Structure 1
Amino acid sequence: MTTFDKREQGFEAKFVHDEELMFRATARSNKLLGLWAASRLGLNGDAATSYATTLVTDHLQDRTMDEVLDKVSGDLAGTGLGREQIAVKLQECLHRAMQQLETDR
């Protein structure tokens, strides 16, 4: 195996690792956002967990941050929270998810 092949394998392994980490962080942040939104909707217990799980599992591969924001902002439309506030909360959740994943290692 040449040095080039080793470097290529290293880059591929890093890419796979980074993609997996981002997938896990996105899923975790969606769950955190879902739990937060559920509390704003007055949901608790199994209903809150179900709402949060739905954000994680619905279209797991295809859902973008914008689609998650659209869903949550639509659900929270009657609470006075705007899309921008929810976007800030989603960023906070993503940051917290990344921290949690770092400490899980």
Structure 2
Amino acid sequence: MAGFEERQKGQEAKFAHDAELRFKAEARRNKLLGLWAAEQMGLSGDAANAYAAEVVAADFQEAGDEDVFRKIAGDLKAKGTAVTEETIRAKMAELVQTAREQVLAEG
């Protein structure tokens, strides 16, 4: 019986650890995406970092990635950039992997 409980606790700990890594990777992806979008809009330095923080915060509006996509797409369109929705989605997909690698490398 003790072996079963230990195994169960181990599985719960792994689940919690995996969920934490997913959360960190999503937040990192959003930050990287925000920095990329800021660059597209001609922002740099503190302004770019502040915009990236807005993108990270936008992800808490609803489940999934659409809230982040809408923010980025709307802001890029408002600034008159020529970045397409397809480019934004491709960048989001690319940065998911980059963010995962960075988070895993940090331990």
Structure 2 gaps of 5+ residues are none
2:49 corresponds to 1:49: yes
Q: Which residue of structure 2 aligns with residue 99 of structure 1? A: 101
For residue 39 of structure 1, give the secondary structure of its aligned residue in structure 2: helix
**RMSD of aligned alpha carbons:** 1.7
Q: Deviations over 1:32-84 (max 9, x none)?
A: 00000000001111111100011113454745311101110111123122222
Q: Distance in 2 between matches of 1:82 and 1:59?
A: 20
Q: Distance in 1 between matches of 2:87 and 2:44?
A: 22
For residue 81 of structure 1, give the secondary structure of its aligned residue in structure 2: coil
Q: 1:18 to 1:32 in 2, by over 3 A?
A: same
Percentage of identical aligned residues: 46
1:29 deviates by: 0.7
Q: Distance in 1 between matches of 2:68 and 2:60?
A: 11
Q: Which residue of structure 2 aligns with residue 87 of structure 1? A: 89
Q: Distance in 2 between matches of 1:19 and 1:2?
A: 26
TM-score by length of 2: 0.87
Instruction: Give the letter for the 2:38 counterpart.
Output: A
Aligned pair count?
Answer: 105
Which aligned pairs between 1:15-94 and structure 2 lie closer than 5 A?
Answer: 15-58=15-58, 60=60, 62=62, 64-77=64-77, 78-94=80-96
Structure 1 gaps of 5+ residues are none
TM-score by length of 1: 0.89
